[in-house]
Amino acid sequence: MIVVMRPGATPEQVGEVRQRIEAEGLEAFVSAGEERTVIGVVGTELDRVAHLGTMDGVERVLRVTNPYKLASVEHHPERTRVRVGDVEIGLGGGEVVVMAGPCSVESEDQLKSTARLVNREGARVLRGGAFKPRTSPYTFQGLGLPALELLAEAREETGMPVISEVTDPGQVELFDRYVDLLQVGSRNMHNFVLLRAVGQSRKPVLLKRGFGSTIEEWLLAAEYILSSGNPNLILCERGIRTFETATRNTLDLSAVPVLRERTHLPIVVDPSHGTGQRSLVGPMALAAAAVGADGLLIEVHPDPPSAKSDGDQSLSFDEFGELMDELRRLRFVRSHLADQPAIVPSGITDLAELRARIDELDAGIVTLLQERAAAALEVQQLRGDAHGHDVSREHELLERAAAGDGVLTPDEMTMVFGSILRASRSAQRRHAAAARRET
C-alpha cells in the first residue's frame, strides 16, 4: 500500500500517518520527494490501515497489486539517483556511467595499470573481483583481502570509487571498509541472508539479475535489500540462460525499458557476462546505452588471453578506448531519455503579459541575429577570402550551442543554431559575389 501525501503536507502530518501505521504493527517507509512525500506501507494485514485516506495531509491511498512495493514506481514516482563516492548513477539520459576493470584482481600491476587506463578513457567507477564465485572449485577463486587492499590503493591513486562482489553475509563489514559499491552477483540473487545483510550496509548495492530469474523475482530480491533499510540500490542486467549456445548468456536488453516502467531504481547493463565474447561487448554496450541504461559494467584486462578469469570476454585497453569513443558519439541518441529540466519560472502569471514578454524576446533575437551576421561579414572581409567560414569552427560553435542547459534538447539547439550558421554563410556568399562584380 502506498500513501501519497498532499504537496504541502507538513512534517507533523507525515509523522502522524507514520505513527498510525506503526501502531497497527505495520512498517512505514517514508520517501520525501521534491514535490511530495510518499509512504510505503508493508505488512500482511494492510486492512488495518484502510482508513489512512481520511487523515490530514493525505491525498490518496493506493493499493499496489505488484508483489514488490518499495521498488515500484508507485512508491517513488521520481527516479532514484544513487551516489557512489562522488559519482551519481540514475540521471536517466546523457552520460552513461561506465564501471570498468578486471574480472578478478590478479596483481598490483594488473589492477593499477587497468585502473589508470580506464580512468583516462572516461570510466567513472573501477571494478575488480576479490572473492570470486566460480562455477568450478578448481578455478581461480580470487586473491581475497589483498585484492580489496589493492582496490582501495587504486581508488586513492585515481580518485575512482570501487565496486567488488561480496559473496558471504559475514563479509559485509569488511566490504563496507574497503569498497564504495557492494556487488551481489548473479549466483547470489536468491541468497536472502546475503540480501538482508547488504540491506543493512551503509554502502550502496548493485544487485545483478539471477541468470535463471524473471524480472519480477529480481525486483522481489531488490525488495529484500530495500526493506532491510538500504535505499541505495542499483539493478544490473547481466544476461539470462536460454536455449541459445552462441553466446554465454542471452543479454535481455528489453529488461531495461521494462524496468523503467516498473521501478525507480537505476539500471546498469553488463555486456561482458551478458555475451561472454569480446567482439560482442561493444555492440551490446552501445545497444544498452541506446535503450536507456544508466550505466555499464565492463571487464577490461591488460592482456586478455592471460587473464585468470573471463579472458574471452575482457576488452584490451585499445578495445575499451574505442568503445568509450563510440559511447560519446551516442550522446544525442540518449538525450530524449534525460529528465526534462525544470522550467525556471518567469514570474509572470498573466497570459497577455507572457505573450508581450515573448514579443520582446523575439525582437531581441532578431536584432542579435542581424548583428551576428554583420560580424560574420566583417570576419570575411578581415580574412580577405571569399567564404569566410571555417567548417571546424562551425562545428565547435554548434557543439557549444548544443551543450547549453535549458528546455531545448541538444538536437533542437543544433537544428536552430545550424540554420543561423547557414543563413550567415549565405549572406557571406552574396556579399562576396557583389564585391566581385564591383571589381
Question: Where on the chain is the footprint of ligand PEP (CB under 6 A)?
Answer: 103, 129, 133, 165, 185-187, 208, 238, 270, 273
Least distance from C-beta 313 to Mn ion, angstroms?
7
**H-type alpha helices, 190-276:** 192-199, 215-227, 255-262, 271-275
H or E segment to which residue 212 belongs = none
Q: Which does 77 bind (CB under 5 to 8 A by kind): ligand PEP, Mn ion, none?
A: none
Q: Does 103 bind Mn ion (CB under 5 A)?
A: yes
Ranges of beta strands (E only) in 12-65 are 27-32, 37-42, 58-62
Q: Which does 121 bind (CB under 5 to 8 A by kind): ligand PEP, Mn ion, none?
A: none
Least distance from C-beta 253 to ligand PEP, angstroms?
15
> For residues 417 and 353, what is the distance between their CA atoms, to the nearest angstrom?
28
Least distance from C-beta 127 to ligand PEP, angstroms?
7
DSSP, res 161: -
For residues 121 and 310, which CB has a smaller minimum distance to Mn ion in the complex? 310
List the one residue out of 122, 102, 98 whose CA is nearest residue 112.
Answer: 102
For residues 274 and 292, which CB has a smaller minimum distance to Mn ion in the complex? 274
Cα–Cα–Cα angle for 174, 180, 186, nearest 5°? 80
Least distance from C-beta 140 to Mn ion, angstroms?
11
Cα–Cα–Cα angle for 303, 312, 118, nearest 5°? 50
Least distance from C-beta 149 to ligand PEP, angstroms?
18
Q: Which three cell numbers stand for residue 193?
A: 541472508
**Stretch touching Mn ion by CB under 5 A, among 54-62, 309-317, 341-349, 363-371:** 309-317
Whether 114 and 300 have beta carbons less than 8 Å apart is answered as yes
For residues 74 and 270, which CB has a smaller minimum distance to ligand PEP in the complex? 270
Whether 269 and 294 have beta carbons less than 8 Å apart is answered as no
Q: Give 143's contacts (C-beta < 8 A, 6+ positions apart).
A: 104, 105, 106, 130, 150
**Stretch touching Mn ion by CB under 5 A, among 23-31, 102-110, 185-193, 210-218:** 102-110
Least distance from C-beta 337 to ligand PEP, angstroms?
24
For residues 82 and 300, which CB has a smaller minimum distance to Mn ion in the complex? 300
User: Which residue in this structure is represented by grid cell 525556471?
Assistant: 344
Letter for the amino acid at 310?
A: D
How far is the first Cα of the chain from the last one, in angstroms, to the nearest whole number? 82
Q: What does each C-alpha distance from 194 to 110, 161, 173, 215, 428 come to in angstroms? A: 30, 22, 12, 19, 69
For residues 259 and 421, which CB has a smaller minimum distance to ligand PEP in the complex? 259
For residues 188 and 263, which CB has a smaller minimum distance to ligand PEP in the complex? 188
Least distance from C-beta 54 to ligand PEP, angstroms?
47
Number of residue whose CB is nearest ligand PEP: 185
Least distance from C-beta 4 to ligand PEP, angstroms?
36
For residues 57 and 276, which CB has a smaller minimum distance to ligand PEP in the complex? 276
Whether 257 and 228 have beta carbons less than 8 Å apart is answered as no
Q: Give the residue, chosen from 310, 317, 324, 424, that forms a contact with Mn ion under the rule CB under 5 A.
A: 310
**Stretch touching Mn ion by CB under 5 A, among 35-43, 146-154, 210-218, 303-311:** 303-311
List the one residue out of 328, 362, 343 whose CA is nearest residue 405.
Answer: 343
Q: Which does 186 bind (CB under 5 to 8 A by kind): ligand PEP, Mn ion, none?
A: ligand PEP
For residues 294 and 310, which CB has a smaller minimum distance to Mn ion in the complex? 310
- Give the interface size with Mn ion as a residue count (CB under 5 A): 2
Q: Which does 199 bind (CB under 5 to 8 A by kind): Mn ion, ligand PEP, none?
A: none
Q: Give 81's contacts (C-beta < 8 A, 6+ positions apart).
A: 88, 89, 90, 91, 266
Whether 162 and 155 have beta carbons less than 8 Å apart is answered as yes
Least distance from C-beta 185 to ligand PEP, angstroms?
3
Q: Which does 106 bind (CB under 5 to 8 A by kind): Mn ion, ligand PEP, none?
A: none
For residues 167 and 230, which CB has a smaller minimum distance to ligand PEP in the complex? 167
**Stretch touching Mn ion by CB under 5 A, among 59-67, 100-108, 190-198, 228-236:** 100-108
Q: Which is it for strands 82-84 and 87-89: parallel, antiparallel or unpaired?
A: antiparallel
For residues 95 and 270, which CB has a smaller minimum distance to ligand PEP in the complex? 270
> For residues 278 and 388, what is the distance between their CA atoms, to the nearest angstrom?
47
| Footprint on this chain of Mn ion (rule: CB under 5 A) | 103, 310
